[in-house]
Amino acid sequence: MTTPCTEIAVFRVKKADLDQVIALSKAIFSEMNAKGEVITAYQVLTKTDDPEQICWHLTWVDADTAKAITEQWPTFSSTKAFQSLVEKDIYYGHFAPAV
């Protein structure tokens, strides 16, 4: 049995680019899932008191899959466009349920 893994990633983007960044985020998730479902759920969130911060909240099938797919980050076709709109990578991490 595999244990799901949660990814949290926070980025700073210009408010004017928010819609495009959200669309590119969803495109990247689709690209990651192209060969089979590895992300089972996702949310793209905006910070309540700072709309220029977005958060990815992803649920991966397991930590090994999350690591393997995120290592392929530069190869996804939407990555370059996404990164060109990100002003700052604020936080990134994978989490597993506490035992």
pLDDT tens-digit profile of 35-70?
A: 999 999 999 999 999 999 999 999 999 999 999 999
Query: Which domains, and CATH codes, for the chain?
Result: 5-95 (3.30.70.100)
CB 46 within 8 A of CB 54: yes
Q: Say how far apart CA 84 and CA 91 lie, in whole Å.
A: 17
Q: Which helix (H) or strand (E) holds 65?
A: helix 63-70
Q: What is the pTM of this model?
A: 0.93
Per-residue b/e over 73-98, b at no fewer than 16 CB within 10 Å? eeebebbeebeeebeeeeeeeeeeee
